[in-house]
Amino acid sequence: MGLTPHEFSGRFWAVVASTFLGFIGMGAVLPALGPHVRHDLGGTDQTVGFVIGTFSLVALISRFASGPIADRRGRKVAFIAGLSSCAAAGVVYLLPLGIAGAYLGRVLQGFGEACLYTGAAAWVIELGGIHRSAQALGYLSSGIWGGISLGPVLGQALGSFPRAAALQVVSALVGIACLWFVREDYEPHDEPRQGPWIPRGLILPGLTIGFVNVHYPVLTGFLVLHLAGTGHAGPLAFTAYALVILCSRFFLGGLPDRIAPHLTFYLGLVCMAVGLLGITFAPSAWLAVVATGVLGLGFSFPWSAVAATVLRRTPERERGSVVSVLSAFYDFFVGVSSFAAGMMAKRWGYPSAFLLAACAVGVAAILGRYVFAARAQAETLELAEVSR
């Protein structure tokens, strides 16, 4: 059985709150970034894809630093480094650097998000308990998506992209202030992890997570532009997507701890496929908003189902590195699919990018079968060892 929210410690919720603050600024900037690059800075649809993808490619490289930082220097150090870099990204967005400023801001955000999430995820798992890892990650994701859902509303209310960028600076600094006095129990170690950067056992889970997340750059880069012809419902649809993720991960995030993780994994993929096809072919703004909400519901489950399965077999001193490696697959796929989606949107229109994401969900379903089969085999071997 999972714990109710009040049974988690105050330190646990302080980490979640700081994560929430860090992502408010990202949420304010992200939906407006595509239109800002396209219209304010004079970029093309392909440029939009490249700017969005730069974040993920930088975050991908940064994962291989953020994991060792979290394991060898501490979760708190990694977390604060990430928030500081996000604040710096907001400052860069405010400078008159044109397209170059958009790229540089995304570079700083990529490094910042890598350190922020790796530190926060490893920390909440230890504060919540490894056997409640899915629930702990669910609450953390609620903080993330709470920030991403509230951020666009605040950014739109502020009325301009520069004001949204200023909000990113302020929210990140407040997050650092909230986190500064939180005590960390984890004792860092100086010994580097032995073996390859990507352990063999993480390849299949990582690929599965990667294909699940192909939809994300399509959504962030082209949802607003795709829905411009159906009543300009893009910002509302993106907010619905984030709000559904927030609520489902908060109230249902512990399901992979209580039932077979593969069940929640495949339920999520079915909802994602329905949502993506609905966005592609929706004849009205409201149907597009509903479809985006269904997509958010589905997206709430695959990450926690896969991550909880892997982390339960991971020693404490390596959890930061494992989180960073799994996240690196996410970044790689998001970065590559950003470029692919940008080129497809330019050649065949925005619906083709959403169909690409739907196909990727199908590939994730195939790979997931092997991920959870490997989990079942490992559990069988463990039971056999215990019975000897």
User: What domains are there in the chain, each with its CATH number?
Assistant: 7-180+200-387 (1.20.1250.20)
**Cα–Cα distance measured from residue 158 to residue 161, given in angstroms and rounded to the nearest whole number:** 8
Three-state SS at 268: helix
Query: Is the per-residue pLDDT at 92 higher than 80?
Result: yes
Q: What is the mean pLDDT of residues 28-33?
A: 80
Q: Residues 288, 231: contact at Cβ < 8 Å?
A: no
Q: What is the mean pLDDT of residues 284-307?
A: 91
Query: Is the per-residue pLDDT at 2 higher than 60?
Result: no
Chain position carrying tokens 């997509």? 295
Tens digit of pLDDT for each residue in 317-375?
888 888 889 988 987 888 788 889 888 988 898 899 999 999 999 999 999 998 888 65
pLDDT of residue 31: 73
Chain position carrying tokens 């986190």? 179
Q: What is the mean pLDDT of residues 249-270?
A: 86
pLDDT of residue 234: 80
Tell me the average pLDDT of the chain. Answer: 85
Residues 6+ apart with CB under 8 A from 319: 71, 122, 125, 126, 311
Q: Which of 92, 97, 339, 325 is nearest to 200 (CA)?
A: 325
Start-to-end CA span in the chain (Å): 29
**Cα–Cα distance measured from residue 346 to residue 326, given in angstroms and rounded to the nearest whole number:** 31
- Name the more confident of 200 and 190: 200
- Extract the tokens encoding 156: 């739109």
Q: Give backbone dihedrals phi and psi of 232, rounded to 5 degrees, phi first.
A: 55, 50
Chain position carrying tokens 């860069």? 92
Greatest extent of the chain over all pairs of C-alpha atoms, in Å: 69
| Whole-Å CA distances, 293 to 74, 125, 278 | 36, 27, 10
**Cα–Cα distance measured from residue 236 to residue 282, given in angstroms and rounded to the nearest whole number:** 15
- Single-letter code of the amino acid located at 130: I
In the chain, % of residues over pLDDT 90: 35
Query: Is the per-residue pLDDT at 387 higher than 50?
Result: no
Residues 6+ apart with CB under 8 A from 274: 291, 294, 295, 298
Query: Is the per-residue pLDDT at 10 higher than 50?
Result: yes
